[in-house]
Structure 1
Amino acid sequence: MRISITSATTVGESRGGGSVDRSAIAVGEALTAGGIDVDDVDLLINTGIHRDDNIVEPAIAALIQKKSDINPLYEGQAQPALSFDLMNGPCGFLDAMEVTSAIFRTGGRRLAVIVGGEGHPSGSAREDSTFPYLTSAAAVVVAPATDKTGFGRVYRARTTAPDLPVGYLPLTTMGAQGCRVIGFERPDEQAYDRGLDVAVEAVTACLEREGLDPARCVLLASEPRPGFAKSVASAVGVDRVVTPDAPADPHSAALPFAYQAWLHADTPRGDAAHALFLGADGYFVAACAAYRLP
């Protein structure tokens, strides 16, 4: 089942006291922008990775659902909202689209919110120069498409990751401050080249298997490092590229940020027939789906 975006919004670091608060604000503003009541939401999926206090349980989606006041009761309602976490970095947004489409096909749920974003576990990344992601949140409301517009199949590519963590909890050294720290290590330079090849592979598969003309596509892509998206676009023959309008990488919220940047551009559509959503970490994995425009 094809699904279409109803509304979307992004929220920066200055709003909300932590990642859950920011995500709830993003959800509320996305629903307001779409003229949607919280009681109409059937499904909420959280794709964010880094969260307040390194919380593991309960699911962050449940906390966002509670703060957003989205159908929290299991009695007195026609259908309580389902919420869960689905974490796969910048590819998580497209994973959530695919899962949402499958759930919609069951016929029981018709409106979903996909929310993502990053936040330092301490509540502020300003004192941690190693935190590489934008402190932010984004929410996208989606519903079944009423025509042939919307998201199609998700195409994926990956390479074998070395035995090296990119983000991790330093369990042996964190001591009593474990809920406030996070560690990062970057892969070697060769991983950059592999990451570009993987992204090109995913976009190429999408173009070829969907029979799309690159000249009539716009690439909406995450930007794990400067120039990444343009390099991918050049390799596949797409002339128009939109990346997140942000001072750092929004990571799990990168595609909603790119989508918002595209909507706010002077000429977002042009003669484009499809928007190619590309989520990529720049090292090991990438996912791409074509969004057929009205």
Structure 2
Amino acid sequence: MGISIKSTGMSVATATTSAIEHSARAARGAMSSAGIEPEQVGVLINTGVYRDSNLFEPAIAALIQREAGIGLEYPEGVSRSFSFDLMNGACGVLNAVQVATALLETDSAQYVLVVSGDTHPSLQRRRPAADFPFVTAGAAMLLEKTDTPSGFGPVHVAELEGTPATRGFANIAEMGVHGRSLVTVEREDGFEERLLEVAGVAAGKAIGGHEGGLDLSRTALISSRPTAGFPAALAAQLGIAPEAVLGSGVVEGDAHTAALTAAYHQVDEAILAGYDTVLFVAAGAGPSAAATVYRLAPTA
């Protein structure tokens, strides 16, 4: 038995700058690709952090659920859907995989949909800038339980002591009447080196803990992208070949919470056929990191 990716979806359309709409579009894309109906999604988990107009209530997951058309009606005999936010920055998607695994293993849901996406609260930006280094985009990962050994292994985490390396916050003292449209994002000097260090620790745990050992020559790497060179630098640190770093594609920059799912979505199946496993690694504020090994289904 494994917890596997049934399908993925992504939204980078320029018609909207709303993280809610981007995430909902990605969710609809993932459901359509899988050929399932919205009422089959038992749980939706949102991991996005930077929100439309700095919304805090209600849960953004509920707004995405509504926009995606999930659980809007409760016909007799159909289980109800529910949703919630799970926020842990760049590591949020892998934390959501942990929660989804528990739900699916206990048959608490048929499918779990993990959505993510960030935007500048002003809703006036699409591309990264010095004061907000994140791409406006959305991504969705539909998870299911299968009777095969393919799927996610345990999620391993790591953190370093000291200052957070990178952080985002609402500066109440300076916002004045513009609190719904402003956010402060700070990256410390040398933040990339610290994120590489903590990512290497988490990845090392995942590699060392993989049952039967992990053949790095048959392992692809998908990681967060706090800088353009981060994935390649992490691969070199771990001993993974440069050509095994996957998933930049149309997202040019740091998609933050959507980075891992967006990268996987853009990888051609023919490329994945050349590997047995994918190492997912995310690193961000804390500094903290999470990593897991995803066993791919064997190709015919």
Distance (whole Å) between structure 1 residues aligned to residue 23 and residue 126 of structure 2: 19
Distance (whole Å) between structure 1 residues aligned to residue 4 and residue 70 of structure 2: 21
Distance (whole Å) between structure 1 residues aligned to residue 296 and residue 165 of structure 2: 40
2:258 counterpart of 1:253: yes
Aligned AA (1:263) = D
Q: Which residue, out of 261, 280, 283, partners 1:280?
A: 283
Asked whether the 8 Å contact 2:166–2:287 carries over to 1, the reply is no
Give the superposition deviation at 1:261. Answer: 2.6
Asked whether the 8 Å contact 1:13–1:135 carries over to 2, the reply is no
Q: What whole-Å deviation, never above 9, does each CA across 1:23-45 have from its counterpart, x for those lacking one? A: 11111111111111011110100
Show the 5 A alignment for 1:138-177.
138-162=139-163, 166-177=167-178
Q: What whole-Å deviation, never above 9, does each CA across 1:153-209 have from its counterpart, x for those lacking one? A: 0011111241776211010111111011111111122x3322211111111111111
* CA 269–282 in structure 1, closer or farther in 2 if over 3 Å, else same: farther
TM-score normalised by length of structure 1: 0.93
2:16 counterpart of 1:11: no
* CA 63–33 in structure 1, closer or farther in 2 if over 3 Å, else same: same
Give the superposition deviation at 1:127. Answer: 9.5
Corresponding residue for residue 289 of structure 1: 292
2:52 counterpart of 1:52: yes
Asked whether the 8 Å contact 2:127–2:136 carries over to 1, the reply is no
Distance (whole Å) between structure 2 residues aligned to residue 25 and residue 250 of structure 1: 16
Identity of counterpart residues, as a percentage?
A: 35
Show the 5 A alignment for 1:183-198.
183-189=184-190, 191-198=191-198
The runs of 5 or more residues in structure 2 that have no matched partner are none
Asked whether the 8 Å contact 2:31–2:37 carries over to 1, the reply is yes
Deviates more, 1:59-68 or 1:69-78: 69-78
Deviates more, 1:124-133 or 1:87-96: 124-133
Distance (whole Å) between structure 2 residues aligned to residue 212 and residue 118 of structure 1: 33
Distance (whole Å) between structure 2 residues aligned to residue 224 and residue 235 of structure 1: 16
Alignment RMSD: 2.0
Corresponding residue for residue 182 of structure 1: 183
Asked whether the 8 Å contact 1:7–1:31 carries over to 2, the reply is yes
Aligned AA (2:72) = P
Distance (whole Å) between structure 2 residues aligned to residue 233 and residue 165 of structure 1: 22
Distance (whole Å) between structure 1 residues aligned to residue 149 and residue 64 of structure 2: 32
Aligned AA (1:94) = L
Q: What whole-Å deviation, never above 9, does each CA across 1:77-111 have from its counterpart, x for those lacking one? A: 63111200011111111110110011122222110
Distance (whole Å) between structure 1 residues aligned to residue 228 and residue 15 of structure 2: 26
Corresponding residue for residue 271 of structure 2: 267
Corresponding residue for residue 70 of structure 1: 70
* CA 82–235 in structure 1, closer or farther in 2 if over 3 Å, else same: same
Runs (4 or more) in structure 1 with deviation over 4 Å come to 73-77
Asked whether the 8 Å contact 2:175–2:182 carries over to 1, the reply is yes
TM-score normalised by length of structure 2: 0.91
Distance (whole Å) between structure 2 residues aligned to residue 112 and residue 200 of structure 1: 29
Deviates more, 1:106-115 or 1:134-143: 106-115
Give the superposition deviation at 1:16. Answer: 3.2
Show the 5 A alignment for 1:19-38.
19-38=19-38
